[in-house]
Amino acid sequence: MRQWTIIFAIIATTAAWAEPPVLSSWRTEDDFYARFGSNRNVELVAALLADKDFAIRENAVMDLGDMGNFTAIEHIRKAAGDENTIVRAAAALAASKYPADRAGDIVTSLLADPDMTVTLAALRGVRMLTLESATADVAKLVASD
């Protein structure tokens, strides 16, 4: 049985090496995001935010962050209010991939989340965006018990 596991692992690894990188088929990274971050694709991924499985919602919001399409920001904002801690933390990280003037308020609002996981993700987002506007919110966190 162990031999089969090793054989399958080798086959899977070999198959992964044989696949050409997706980005190499596009002239530039901008071409890649222009194709995969289209408004239609944003809406398709955003529809997954209504799924009952939190892992689906978490991956959807992270994908929205990677798309680089500003129409995704409102969907990330919606995910920031999700009932699940992991989805809210993912929303903080996804929002931090956009310019601070467009999505910084999402990150800042999640600093006040009662769950420490979300707060830490939001702090990471503040650092990634260098959000000077969040200085007072971060000071409150440091001063609180």
pLDDT of residue 138: 58
The span from the CA of 73 to the CA of 47, in Å, is 14
pLDDT of residue 144: 64
The span from the CA of 23 to the CA of 25, in Å, is 5
The span from the CA of 12 to the CA of 10, in Å, is 5
The span from the CA of 88 to the CA of 110, in Å, is 8
The span from the CA of 145 to the CA of 129, in Å, is 26
* 24, 56, 117 from 50: Cα distances, Å: 33, 9, 22
Q: Residues 28-63: pLDDT tens digits?
A: 555 655 556 788 899 999 999 999 999 999 999 999
In the chain the first and final C-alpha atoms are separated, in Å, by 53
The span from the CA of 66 to the CA of 18, in Å, is 25
Cβ(107)–Cβ(129) below 8 Å: yes
Q: Model-level pTM?
A: 0.71
Residues lower than pLDDT 50 in the chain: 2, 6-26
